[in-house]
Amino acid sequence: MPSPWHDSVTKIVDDDPDFAITLLRDVLGLEDVPRAHGHLGPNVFNTRPSQDLIADQVVIVGRDQDPDHVIIVEAQKEPLEHKLIKFAKYSAAAWLQYNCPADVLVICPDVKTAAWYTQPVVTGMGASRFRPRVLFPELVPTITNPNDVAADPRMAVLSVAYHGEDEKVSEAFLDGIQTLGKDKTRQYHEYAFAMSSQDVRELLRRIMTTTHWPLYSDMAKENYGQGQRDALLTLVDKRGLALSDKQRGLIEDTDDLDQLKGWFDAAITAESADDIFK
């Protein structure tokens, strides 16, 4: 099942398909990718008579009927051998379907996973080997100016996800997205929160709950609280602890972040659901 991290990556591309072009051309340095406008295309390829291949996102660069380039965007949190093989098939199927260059852009949460996906795939087509285009965290700019965040909030989400342990990055991100209006502020905060490590989330929480962020603190507490509730319920379910309707209601109804954290810590070692609430 796709994770919030995975969904955030695909939603960013869904919001602005041109962002995939920016990552390939300007961040990864593939100058042969045209600067033409991009739009989402069907994310299902077919290798009939065998099977459908379903990618995370597909960006068509140029016209639908005669595109200049195809970018297949994949969000991967962990090394998966079968995914690496599928990427080669995605690229080949897109090349055949659209008769233009086709790249697979892989976005990972950490260096180790990114490095794993750089290995070549032996395709079986003569001496041909396939390599996806992998976005390494160090290639993403460290954005510390709120104006730059507001100008390119999608890149800023990646910046805080990869470099948010630098307090200047997290502060600039929160400051910059506040200028985008309530809906966009909430949207980009959710993307960044879903894609960041626990340490960066804690830093964002600390910044957001101070008096320095009065316009945003209420929303931040709300979103962080929902994340804490979801994490607690997930942990309880994974540990096989059976919650009563009353106990589940206590978790879902509380806005006390300290209480949620206390219940989460208790759930780690609890032998029964009742132990969580003692």
Tell me what pLDDT residue 49 has: 54
E-strand spans in the chain?
A: 38-40, 44-46, 52-54, 57-62, 67-75, 102-107, 121-122, 129-130, 133-135
pLDDT above 90: residue 227: no
Same domain, 93 and 166: no
pLDDT at 216 (0 to 100)? 47
Same domain, 130 and 159: no
**pLDDT above 70 for 218:** no
For 110-150, write each residue's pLDDT tens digit. Answer: 999 999 999 998 887 777 788 999 999 999 999 999 999 99
For the residues 28-46, what does the mean pLDDT come to? 83
- Shared domain for 153 and 135, answered yes or no, is no
Q: Are residues 71 and 120 in the same domain?
A: yes
- Identify whether residues 154 and 84 lie together within a single domain: no
Average pLDDT over residues 235-252: 85
Considering 93, 118, 139, which residue would you say is the last residue of a domain?
139
Identify whether residues 129 and 190 lie together within a single domain.
Answer: no
Which residue, 139, 169, 196, sits at the end of a domain?
Answer: 139
- Please provide the average confidence, as pLDDT, over all residues in the chain: 85
Beta-strand relationship, 38-40 and 57-62: antiparallel
The verdict on 112 and 179 lying in the same domain is no
Q: Same domain for 124 and 153?
A: no
Which domain covers residue 12, as residue numbers? 4-139
Q: How far is CA 253 from CA 219, 237, 245, 258, 260, in A?
A: 16, 18, 12, 14, 11
Taking the C-alpha atoms of residue 248 and residue 121, their distance in angstroms, rounded to an integer, is: 47
Q: What is the pLDDT of residue 215?
A: 46
**Predicted model pTM:** 0.69
CA distance 179 to 212: 15
Q: Which two tokens stand for residue 39?
A: 């739009």
What pLDDT digit, counting tens, does each position of 140-179 carry? 999 999 999 999 999 999 999 999 999 999 999 999 998 8
The mean per-residue pLDDT over the stretch 32-42 comes to: 84
- Percent of the chain exceeding pLDDT 90 equals 36
What is the number of structural domains in the chain?
Answer: 2
Q: Which pLDDT does position 111 carry in this prediction?
A: 93
pLDDT digits (tens, 9 = 90+) for 49-68: 556 778 899 999 998 888 99
Instruction: State yes or no: pLDDT of 41 exceeds 60.
Output: yes
**Does residue 163 share a domain with residue 109?**
no
Same domain, residue pair 163 and 39 = no
**Dihedral sign, Cα of residue 192, residue 193, residue 198, residue 202:** positive
Average pLDDT over residues 204-221: 61
Task: Tell which of 87, 105, 139 closes a domain.
Answer: 139
Are 128 and 193 found together in one domain? no
Least confident of 43-47, 54-58, 87-91: 43-47
Same domain, 55 and 89: yes
